Amino acid sequence: MIKFSFRRWLCSCLVVGLSCCLLAGCSVNVSGGKTLTVATEPTFPPFEFQGKGGELEGFSIDLMRAVAAAANFQVEFQSLPFDGMIPALQAKTIDAAISSMTITEERAKTVAFSRPYFKAGLAIAIRADNQDITGFDSLQNKKIAVQIGTTGAAKAKSVTGAQVSSFDSAPLALQELQNGNVDAVINDAPVTLYAVNTGNLQGIKVIQQLLTEEFYGIATAKKSPYLSLINQGLATVFKDGNYQLIYQKWFKSTPPILPDKLPFANSKADKLNSLSLLLQALPTLLIGVLVTLQLALISVIFGLIGGSLIGILHLSTIKPVRLLTRAYVDFFRGTPLLVQIFMIYFGLPAIFQEMGFTFSLNRLVAGVIALSLNSAAYIAEIVRAGIQSIAIGQSEAARSLGLNSFQTMRYVIFPQAFQRMIPPLGNEFISLLKDTSLVAVIGFEELFRKGQLIVAENYRAFEIYAMVAVIYLCLTLVSSQAISRLEKWMKLRGV
């Protein structure tokens, strides 16, 4: 007799389900030609951005589609951060990248470029009321915001005495300028001009248009079989007038003449061995460690103070106080820390500016505020649960000995509760330590950002990120050791 086994039935369902998913994922395109996964970072209008309905739009997107049609292949766009594109091409997780990527000699050592498809260059953007900066030479000792891993970032690095902060995307760097935290932004001229001309970026002017002359190319992995296909498609769209149409659509002018070859050969890099690479990166990463620790320690102190207060207030007999603390905890626990960081650093100054006040936040202050507010919500819950875990008889006994409610809390309840709070507080510190990496989005150069900056220069993502992970691991292991020692010590002392 066949017995029905629920477990076996569940397993078969899982196997069938998984196989279906895998088959769907690997499905072959039947509409003709290969499907190429093409990466783009859609934060660079008018080249690549998300339209009103969320679909990809822009000059590069139209061009890539035209190239694909001309060379008979299909395109599947994949959104990727700009600084992750070259590592992804190397790892062959994508087939090509079209993301206004300037063809540079350095990059051509790691990836292969198609023939140039656009002529651009860098421009300097400053606030409209700035009379001080008149050109590249007057950028010395100034604060400059750039997008990480771009030619603009490399140019800013060459300015003597400049304080360069790097952001994940060009709009964030421009927002930083608008908020008054930096003096200038070095970015691709067509993108900055588009933002200014469309009115999306107010109070900003562009000086020194085309500081450099650059050409964009479609990038593929070295020796990729798709490079010739893409070049063939590009040649066709240049010849059949499609390119001119797309250019006219986005730039309302006729395109300049482009070279049909790369300015230099697709050469090969002399690869540094992993050990030397790591030794070279270590000092920079260690500076990042110091910043990470500073951020975590300051934030945990504020978080502890705020969290204890909120946790105790939550036990109040006054209902509105309880409701307020509940709302605080719900808000900060229920929204992503990343969103909170963006709100505090970019959102607050922007809203104050709109109201006519000048208000800007220092990166460290913004990072500490965001991390402390967030961890205070978790700590409040730990404190509340710790206090509530002490048997009611304890406070009754204390009261019968004549202690008032403050003394009961201070001498009887809190010391016992604190011992129970140490393990969850330790966990909270470890989470906080790891969460500091999120502050990288506001250009704060802590450990993770330092790693990203190194990868943006040498494209050795695996080694560098592995090292960053190992350093975080060491930090958390050391912290958890310290916390368990503290716990033992408190037990011994009978605190």
147 sits near ligand GLN (criterion: CB under 6 A): yes
Alpha helices in 318-400 (DSSP H): 319-334, 337-342, 348-354, 363-388, 392-400
Residue among 116 and 311 whose Cβ is closer to ligand GLN: 116
Q: According to CB under 6 A, which residues from 317 to 336 bind ligand GLN? A: none
Nearest to ligand GLN of 57, 188 (CB atom): 188
CB of 476 to ligand GLN, least distance (A): 33
By the rule CB under 6 A, 192 interacts with ligand GLN: no
CB of 149 to ligand GLN, least distance (A): 7
Of 170 and 425, which CB lies nearer to ligand GLN in the complex structure? 170
Question: Which one of 56-64, 143-151, 230-238, 379-387 is the stretch in contact with ligand GLN (CB under 6 A)?
Answer: 143-151
Task: State the minimum distance, in angstroms, from the CB of residue 214 to ligand GLN.
Answer: 6
Taking CB under 6 A as the binding criterion, the range among 68-76, 96-104, 137-145, 199-207 that sits at the site for ligand GLN is 96-104
Please report whether residue 166 would count as binding ligand GLN according to CB under 6 A: no
Alpha-carbon span 233 to 34, nearest angstrom? 14
Q: Using the minimum distance from each CB to ligand GLN, give the nearer residue, 119 or 127.
A: 119
Name which of 182 and 189 has its Cβ closer to ligand GLN: 189
Q: Does 212 bind ligand GLN (CB under 6 A)?
A: no
Nearest approach in angstroms of CB 460 to ligand GLN is: 18
Which is nearer to ligand GLN, 44 or 342 (by Cβ)?
44
The reply on whether position 151 binds ligand GLN by CB under 6 A is yes
The number of residues that bind ligand GLN (CB under 6 A) is 12
SS3 37: strand
In whole angstroms, the minimum distance from the beta carbon of 410 to ligand GLN comes to 57
Shortest distance in whole angstroms from residue 170 CB to ligand GLN: 6
Question: Minimum distance from CB of 223 to ligand GLN (Å)?
Answer: 22
Q: Which stretch binds ligand GLN (CB under 6 A): 146-154, 245-253, 312-320, 453-461?
A: 146-154
**In angstroms, what is the minimal distance from the CB of 188 to ligand GLN?**
5
Asked if 82 touches ligand GLN (CB under 6 A), the answer is yes
DSSP designation for 355: T
Looking only at residues 27 through 66 of this chain, which bind ligand GLN when binding is defined by CB under 6 A? Answer: 41, 44
If the CB atoms of residues 70 and 122 are measured against ligand GLN, the closer one turns out to be: 122
Which x/- pattern, by CB under 6 A, does the window 99-138 give for ligand GLN?
A: xxxx------------------------------------
Residue ranges in contact with ligand GLN by CB under 6 A? 41, 44, 82, 99-102, 147, 150-151, 170, 188
